[in-house]
Amino acid sequence: METVNEFIYLSIINREDIQNSFCEGQEDKSNYYLTFGLFSNDCLFDLSEINYEFEIRISKKYIEKYNESFALNIGKQSLCCNSQSKLLEIINCKLEGINRKIFIESNVLFLLFQLQKNNSLFPIECDSCNFLNSAAEIEKIQQAKKFILDNLANNLTIPIVAITVGTNQCYLKKGFKEVFKQTIFEFIQENRMIKAKHLLQSEKLNITNIAAIVGYSSISSFSQSYKNYFGISPTEQIKQTIPNL
């Protein structure tokens, strides 16, 4: 286990028995424990058929400096694209010494935040909403999410997604927003942009190919969408990329 600092410890191992990408959080009297799995078949990014498991231990003394209560205790759940991206950055990090420690620490804190954020989003306790009381319809929303992630390169419209998972467009839009706190468009855009950023930073592909991979037939449309989302153009992103990061 790698010692990041006196409060944070990290372990990364290859696991052949992982069945899906997931995140999980637990705690005891002294520590918070974060567990993440990256499964090559359902990860947003290309892992070249390698699966990873991350074990992170954070001393509660690290959090005490904020002088506010913090609880973390959630069951296993799906892994969002933002967390996948951060985990992949940790895997690919080639920094050494203090630069690596700062980089890893910042990513661990992001993962802790994201896990806690998910903890507040995913529990579904809505007695007044018939849609969320239907396990079958919730499963269709989860299927819609998976279909979108598997088909980012394709034309994704609400009618196409609704037909694929076997529900109507109204239920799909309503249910997706209630379960994931995002519209379908926002979810598609977020995942396309995060994947595009990863490809721009780590792959030897030209912008035309990357645009196609994330579902854009027009380079100008892709460039404008990327700049609207990140504040810089794809070309500027490439120039800013730190080698080996």
- Residue 147 is predicted with a pLDDT of 93
| Domain span holding position 209 | 186-240
Residues of the chain with pLDDT under 50: 121-129, 244-245
Residue 220 lies in a domain: yes
Q: Are residues 6 and 107 in the same domain?
A: yes
Residue from 69, 50, 48 nearest 60 by CA: 69
Tell me whether residue 17 is in a domain. Answer: yes
Residues 141 and 105 in one domain: no
- Which pair of structure tokens corresponds to residue 153? 């390169």
Per-residue pLDDT, 22? 87
Quick one: 175 and 217 in the same domain? no
pLDDT at 125: 40
For residues 102 and 172, membership in a common domain is answered with no
Of 47, 43, 32, 35, the C-alpha closest to 80 is 43
Give the phi and the psi of residue 144 in degrees, each rounded to 5.
Answer: -65, -40
User: What's the pLDDT at 119?
Assistant: 62
User: What total of structural domains would you count in the chain?
Assistant: 3
With a CB cutoff of 8 Å and minimum separation 6, the contacts of 61 are 7
User: Is there a single domain that holds both residue 37 and residue 91?
Assistant: yes
Q: Determine the distance from the C-alpha atom of residue 128 to the mean position of all C-alpha atoms in its chain, rounded to a whole number.
A: 30
Residue 30 included in any domain: yes
159 & 196 share domain = no
Residue that finishes a domain, picked among 121, 151, 173: 121
Q: What is the CATH number of the domain that holds 217?
A: 1.10.10.60
* pLDDT score, position 245: 45
Listed residues 98, 121, 144: the one ending a domain: 121
Bridge partners of 139?
none
For residues 23 and 88, membership in a common domain is answered with: yes
The dihedral built from the CA positions of residue 186, 171, 154 and 199, taken in this order, carries a sign that is positive
What is this structure's pTM?
Answer: 0.61
Do 108 and 194 share a domain, yes or no?
no
Pair of tokens at residue 98: 């203090």
Residue 126, in any domain of the structure: no
Give the Å distances, CA to CA, from 20 to 35, 53, 77, 146.
13, 11, 10, 12
Q: How far apart are CA 41 and CA 50, in angstroms?
A: 9
pLDDT of 190: 92
